[in-house]
Amino acid sequence: MDRPTRLDYCQYLLSSPLNDTLTHFADHSEGFSHDMINRYLAGDRIPPRLVWEHVKDHIALTPKGYVIFDDTVLDKRHARKIALVRRQYSGNAQGVINGIGVVTCVYVNPQQDRFWLIDYRIYDPQGDGKTKLDPLKDMLSGLVYQKRLPFTGVLMDSWYATKTVMLHIEQMQKTYYCPLKTNRRVDE
């Protein structure tokens, strides 16, 4: 019996965007048990750098492109002792749950109606001392100053609609779009 590979797991995630549990993967793949997949994932690391290395040659760049920043909470309500699990608000659950926070960055080419995941960060305030805003600012700075990606705008959800983030984006001479929470004050 073969062991799962990164390609197997990535193909599963692409084909099953609504249920990414190990149990679901094992139930829908011949030859892989839950324990085999769990051992594979425990030993495999996919750092943000590796994501970028694999996608950079496939992106259709355009100066009219934009980047999307979004955060999500991977639901780990039933977790007992999993690293990075903490109590946090989940929009999907409409409440506070045990979960792992992930901030993603997607590059969009609107002319071709295509998009690519280009970066991500695990939200780990106890481990790295960063706020939930820091991963967005770090990734954005990397896009502009290291990767030098052409894009014109930044799309983000209302969580990031803060003065600190908006000034950071304006400093890079980019446009931003985001909904505002009702409790935010705006000086026009």
Determine the pLDDT at residue 137: 94
| Mean pLDDT of the 104-120 span | 93
- What are the extents of the domains in the chain? 1-44, 48-177
pLDDT higher than threshold 90 for residue 173: yes
Amino acid, res. 10 = C
Q: Which of 101, 120, 4, 103 is nearest to 51 (CA)?
A: 120
pLDDT higher than threshold 90 for residue 168: yes
Q: What is the mean pLDDT of the chain?
A: 85
In the block, tokens 């779009």 appear at 177
Per-residue pLDDT band for 185 (boundaries 50, 70, 90) equals confident
Determine the pLDDT at residue 74: 82
**Alpha-carbon span 48 to 117, nearest angstrom:** 10
pTM comes to: 0.76
Q: Are 131 and 153 in contact (CB under 8 A)?
A: no
Per the model's pLDDT, the better-predicted residue between 72 and 137 turns out to be 137
Per-residue pLDDT band for 181 (boundaries 50, 70, 90) equals confident
- Please give the CATH number for the structural domain made up of 48-177: 3.30.420
Determine the pLDDT at residue 188: 61
Determine the pLDDT at residue 149: 95
% of the chain beyond a pLDDT of 70: 94
C-alpha distances (whole Å) from 26 to each of 11, 84, 105, 111, 168 are 13, 24, 28, 38, 43
Per-residue pLDDT band for 187 (boundaries 50, 70, 90) equals low
